Structure 1
Amino acid sequence: MRIAILMTNTDDSAFAHRHPKDGAKFTALVQMARPHWSCDVFAVKDDIFPEDISRYDGVMITGSPASTRSGAPWVDRLLALIRQIHDRKIPLFGACFGHQAIALALGGRVDDLPGGWVHGRTENHLVARPEWAAELPDVVSIYGSHVEYVHELPKGADPLMTRDGHSTGFTLGRHIATTQHHPEMTHDFICALTEELRTDMEPQVHARALDSLQEQADQPALAEAIARFFEAARVG
């Protein structure tokens, strides 16, 4: 398969330059499960978009510190592209910002997260089990870092995962799947990011993050599930 990765991460800090970019992270996630698949990265945050999205077997939208509610021209253009992808039923997977952007583009609602910043390893209860998610555990561990969330799902969407009473992933038809969190992040990266953001966090948030990172996320299982999602969506 050929996957388009729409890179939305606006972080241009020294820390970001010391680590692989999100395009590389998502490519590694895809190829962890399907080494022969190819990925093309488009920095949509710099207004670089695919000329013809229909050339791709699937699309992934990355995370970002930017807000889907910012009204930035590139965000508006991305929301329009999401609606086009949905209309054409091209398989689409969104993570964090991508999850929120898909929801917002298709009529859902994004708000500030009650209780503030979530950061570290999160435990998400699988509330639906499509065939492609058959091998995921009932409680899925995924690294996360966010202050906004999807308050209302788009019409026709079904919750996939929940955490603390909030949806942390959804499906829409057979061609859309999302997660609020970051399946592309490795344990080494989230640990480094936690230390980088230490002074930006309240002490209790940092302490909870460190405690959560004593165990690792379910990255290999997530990589396989995402690959199966694209395969099932193409068949559907």
Structure 2
Amino acid sequence: MAPLRLLVVEGNVRAARERHRATYGLTPSESYAAVLRRFVPEAVCDVAFPADEGANLPDSAGLADYDGVVITGSALNVWKAEPESMRQVELAREVYRSGTPFFGSCWGLQVATVAAGGSVRANPRGREVAIARDIRLTEAGVAHPLYQGKAPVFASPCVHGDEVEALPAHAVVLAANAVSDVQAVDISHEGGTFWGIQYHPEFSLNELSVILRRYKPTLMSEGFFRDPAVLDRWLEDLEALVADSRRTDIAWRYGIGPDILDPAVRLREIENFVEHRVKAVRAARGRG
């Protein structure tokens, strides 16, 4: 049997993804591909760079050759309608038309929403950063295969300042919290189905702490911290917990539980996408 073929769509422009590689060791798309291989080690993961002008991108026929498509997060804002963003929206429309199982985190959810006719805005409630807390499944979410085996209320890594403003037709909200009314969604559009989440389960605490250290100026300017020394101690605590997950004193102090620290819990949505969409549709297409 041929291995699964997955396409990881990198949401960032070159400078942003190379900045992530310089601080973390991998680009966001490389990191996401590593997470996917956790569940299908033999998978072939190609990467697309639609933010790059002149990128060679597959059409719906080419996308149909893949078993799944995943969009990463991004530092872009889709509501600005910049060319780097709109190329990704057009690619998302092609993914819908291909019928290939489609998934995205944060930026991926926003791009897929706009591609299907919805809209995204800067969140008037402000940025949600570090940990999205008290994400609560809707009635539809409790029954949805994306959340099979997931607690009805949980926390997850996150970094986002934008949110879904208006849902497209044929969209079902699966989860929400006090910061974002759409923390997860199922969208059906032009023969395709997208499962998306506004948070970032693909971020380990290690990757998250690296990102947050880059966000120090933002965390100060937006009022999350008023004292740089307090911010530095918080980052040092997170890094100490990365180094030793048995530091229950740090985990307790910041309310960081198994839904962040245990990969089997944190990554459940991605695992469910692979099991209930990617593998199921592959079998229905007669590929395995």
The reply to whether TM is greater than 0.5 is: yes
Secondary structure of 1:200 counterpart: helix
CA distance in 2, matches of 1:190, 1:100: 20
Alpha carbons of structure 1 residues 145 and 49: separation in structure 2 relative to 1, 3 Å: farther
Question: Could you list the per-position Cα deviations for residues 108-154 of structure 1 after superposition, in whole angstroms to 9, with x for gaps in the alignment?
Answer: 11011122111012132122132343112212322110110012211
Superposed displacement of residue 15, structure 1: 5.4
Superposed displacement of residue 54, structure 1: 2.1
Normalising by structure 1, report the TM-score. Answer: 0.88
Alpha carbons of structure 1 residues 16 and 117: separation in structure 2 relative to 1, 3 Å: farther
Normalising by structure 2, report the TM-score. Answer: 0.74
Residue among 209, 221, 226 paired with 2:268: 221
CA contact (8 A) 1:61 1:94 kept: yes
Using CA pairs under 8 Å that are at least 6 residues apart, name the structure with larger relative contact order, 1 or 2: 1
Superposed displacement of residue 5, structure 1: 0.6
CA RMSD after TM alignment: 2.5
Structure-2 residue corresponding to 1:65: 75
Residue among 154, 157, 173 paired with 1:159: 173
Structure-2 residue corresponding to 1:4: 7
CA contact (8 A) 2:63 2:98 kept: no
Matched length = 236
Q: What percent identity do the matched residue pairs reach?
A: 20
Secondary structure of 1:24 counterpart: helix
CA distance in 2, matches of 1:197, 1:7: 20
Letter in 1 for 2:272: A
Letter in 2 for 1:4: L
Structure-2 residue corresponding to 1:98: 108
Superposed displacement of residue 230, structure 1: 2.1
CA distance in 2, matches of 1:193, 1:84: 31
After the TM superposition, which of the residue ranges 161-170 and 133-142 deviates more from structure 2? 133-142
Structure-2 residue corresponding to 1:172: 187
* Unaligned 5+ runs, structure 1: none
2:139 matched to 1:139?
Answer: no
Letter in 2 for 1:191: S
CA contact (8 A) 2:121 2:165 kept: yes
Question: Could you list the per-position Cα deviations for residues 49-72 of structure 1 after superposition, in whole angstroms to 9, with x for gaps in the alignment?
Answer: 433222211111111011112222
CA contact (8 A) 1:4 1:59 kept: yes
CA contact (8 A) 1:120 1:212 kept: no
* Unaligned 5+ runs, structure 2: 226-230, 239-252
Letter in 2 for 1:59: V
Structure-1 residue corresponding to 2:247: none
Question: Could you list the per-position Cα deviations for residues 178-225 of structure 1 after superposition, in whole angstroms to 9, with x for gaps in the alignment?
Answer: 011112211111112222212221475257997657335243323322
CA contact (8 A) 2:11 2:49 kept: yes
CA distance in 1, matches of 2:161, 2:149: 29
Secondary structure of 2:74 counterpart: coil
Question: Could you list the per-position Cα deviations for residues 142-179 of structure 1 after superposition, in whole angstroms to 9, with x for gaps in the alignment?
Answer: 21101100122110010111111611110124721001
Superposed displacement of residue 74, structure 1: 3.2
Secondary structure of 2:11 counterpart: coil
Question: Could you list the per-position Cα deviations for residues 19-61 of structure 1 after superposition, in whole angstroms to 9, with x for gaps in the alignment?
Answer: 1111111111111122122210112221424332222111111
CA distance in 2, matches of 1:113, 1:212: 24
Whose helix proportion is higher, 1 or 2?
2
Structure label with greater radius of gyration = 2
